[in-house]
Chains A and B, each alone.
Chain A
């Protein structure tokens, strides 16, 4: 679905990503793991069109068998039209808008009201707590609820590729478990997921395939379960 080849990302004089290649097959959960500043977010933001100073190739095939389209140089606002949605790092929900309005904004590029309403119900069924709070302002939600809203909002564009930037950030372990169970469910519903995480254990547990990044380079890759057993990964990312 998504093919990244030889991606470089520069900020000023710093090369945050140095020649990364990776592949996300249709229907999979692929995770990108690494410490702060390893370049995970830079990659995901490049796919979303938020980084301008990048080189390499990013090619996207919405459905199996489609001609690949290059995402290089596309504006972030056109990504949802291609079928890509990002739930950004730090959730970035709009605190002064209601839960409902946040979700409606996620469907901004769509016009079929019936379908939008159906998807909203679907998001509410994934996250019943959002339904209870639908008229509450986003800023009054707890951290976990805000994360649910950010994921739900990304789903409202009806994407085929859902990118999640650190959905576990700042959440209690129980909530992380809950969110990850829902991510798996979303994947079972047919969405391909690209998951950026620092919480290696949670991410590797649900991922079909994983890439481990260190200072802008892929240092290790393999199926999630395999990496979970890898002694080097255990030592560096899973606390021995």
Chain B
């Protein structure tokens, strides 16, 4: 493999890894606060992608406007999902909320099939993203710079909210001790809603960029990215935002590089992420940056 080719793969991996990272953040934030795997999270990605598809294609809005509206709408959807599927189960055993999450995922997918039909629809890529810089044999599309760039901006924004604002302080507190945080006057349900909103907004941003990179939308497009991003969150140490970003990048690189260096295994592409999951669970279940979670007595 030539050096240019290798760089080409690196760019691909960076793009894919960024998308996994954005999705993984939503899993990890919700888990950090509620110890719940939000299985409907991948489907938010799909909904976000459909929103942008309809915004640009059916309504003819400019990309930027459609993207911002899609992200906001998906954020609200995330809040709504928490309100109807998880909040009523807050005091129930954790397994009930988990089952509710699985049900929510199937529900959203099924509604999408009914409303949008199961037919994949092509997404028009704007020319300013498909253009490319040419460096010798190396061809870097603007998209390959755009995706990591937007990801960095969004992650910085999120870290600012979590580490520098009052609601962020409440989020970090809730993740350790929900009862005490409540005693101090924090309206915990609002903070949880905010967490779902932020995570869903990031998933929608990833969904939009996913639809630009693999230019089509369909009702099950969120399933595989959702699963792999979940693995990324586990690999990075579930509950840790930095871990989710790192995990997303690693999963992206492993997936791209494994296929690049072993093209004969390209049909097993999806298997690598799951192989990593098995290894992580066997060797270091807390993940790279995860803390050991002590059972509360």
Residues of A within 8 A of B (CB): 48, 50, 75-81, 86, 88, 92, 94-97, 101, 104-106, 108-109, 153, 157
Contacting residues, chain A, for B177 (C-beta < 8 A) = 92, 94
Asked if residues B186 and A94 are in contact (CB atoms below 8 Å), the reply is no
Q: CB-CB < 8 A to A86: which residues of B?
A: 183
- Residue numbers in A under 8 Å from B173 (CB-CB): 94, 97, 105
A81 touches B176 (CB 8 A): no
A105 near B183 (CB under 8 angstroms)? no
- Please state if A101 and B185 are interface contacts (CB–CB under 8 Å): no
Contact between A80 and B176, CB atoms less than 8 A apart: no
Interface centre among A92, A101, A108, A157 (most CB of B within 10 A): A108
Q: Are B183 and A108 in contact (CB under 8 A)?
A: no
Q: Which residues of B are interface residues toward A (Cβ below 8 A)? A: 166, 169-170, 172-173, 176-177, 179-188
Minimum Cβ distance to chain A for residue B32 (Å): 11
A171 to chain B, nearest CB (A): 19
CA distance A13 to B233 in the complex (A): 42
Given contacts A97-B169, A101-B169, A105-B173, contact A88 B185 (CB under 8 A): no
Interface of B, helix, strand, loop or mixed by DSSP: helix
Residues of A within 8 A of B184 (CB): 80, 105-106, 108-109, 153, 157
In the complex, A106→B179 CA distance in Å?
13
B119 to chain A, nearest CB (A): 48
A48, B183: Cα distance in complex, Å: 7
Sort A-B residue pairs by CB-CB distance and give the 7 closest, nearest first.
A109-B185, A80-B185, A92-B180, A76-B182, A108-B185, A77-B182, A76-B183
Q: Knowing A96-B172, A96-B176, A97-B173, say if A79 contacts B166 (CB, 8 Å).
A: no
B176 and A77 contacting across the interface, CB-CB below 8 Å: no
Q: Which residues of A contact B170 (CB under 8 A)?
A: 105, 108
Q: Which residues of A contact B181 (CB under 8 A)?
A: 94, 105
* A108: B residues at CB distance < 8 A: 166, 169-170, 184-186
| A94 proximity list for chain B (CB < 8 A) | 172-173, 176-177, 180-181
Given contacts A77-B186, A109-B185, A157-B184, contact A50 B179 (CB under 8 A): yes
Q: How far is the CA of A76 from the CA of B178 in the complex (A)?
A: 11
| B180–A77 CB distance below 8 A | no
Cα distance, A75 to B179, chains bound together (Å)? 11
- A77–B169 CB distance below 8 A: no
Residue of A nearest to B172 (CB): A97
Q: Give chain B nearest CB distance to A115 CB in angstroms.
A: 15
Which residue of B172, B183, B186 is within 8 Å of A50 (Cβ)? B183
Question: How far is B184's CA from A106's CA once the two chains are assembled, in angstroms?
Answer: 5
Q: Which residues of B contact A76 (CB under 8 A)?
A: 179, 182-183
Q: Within 8 Å CB of A106, what residues of B?
A: 184
Residues of B within 8 A of A109 (CB): 184-186
Known: A92-B177, A94-B180. A104 touches B169 (CB 8 A): yes
CA distance A101 to B176 in the complex (A): 14
The answer to whether A77 and B187 have CB atoms under 8 Å apart is: yes
Instruction: Let me know if A105 and B186 touch, CB within 8 A.
Output: yes
Please state if B179 and A77 are interface contacts (CB–CB under 8 Å): no
30 A–B contacts from the bound complex (CB under 8 Å)? A50-B179, A75-B182, A76-B182, A76-B183, A77-B185, A77-B186, A77-B188, A78-B185, A79-B183, A79-B185, A80-B184, A81-B185, A88-B180, A88-B183, A92-B177, A92-B180, A95-B176, A96-B176, A97-B172, A104-B169, A105-B169, A105-B170, A105-B186, A108-B166, A108-B184, A108-B186, A109-B184, A109-B185, A109-B186, A157-B185
Complex interface: chain A residues within 8 A of B169 (CB): 97, 101, 104-105, 108
Residues of B within 8 A of A95 (CB): 176
**What's the Cα separation between A76 and B183 when bound, in Å?**
5
CA separation between A125 and B107, bound complex, in Å? 56
Residue of B nearest to A109 (CB): B185
Complex Cα spacing A88 to B184, Å: 11
Can you add 19 more A-B contacts, CB < 8 Å, to A76-B179, A80-B184? A50-B183, A77-B182, A77-B183, A77-B187, A86-B183, A88-B183, A92-B177, A92-B180, A94-B181, A96-B172, A97-B169, A97-B173, A97-B176, A101-B169, A104-B169, A105-B169, A108-B166, A108-B184, A153-B184
**Cβ–Cβ < 8 Å partners of A48 in chain B:** 183
- Chain B residue nearest in CB terms to A102: B173
Residues of B contacting A97 in the complex (Cβ-Cβ under 8 angstroms): 169, 172-173, 176
What residues of chain B lie closer than 8 Å to A79, measured between beta carbons? 183, 185
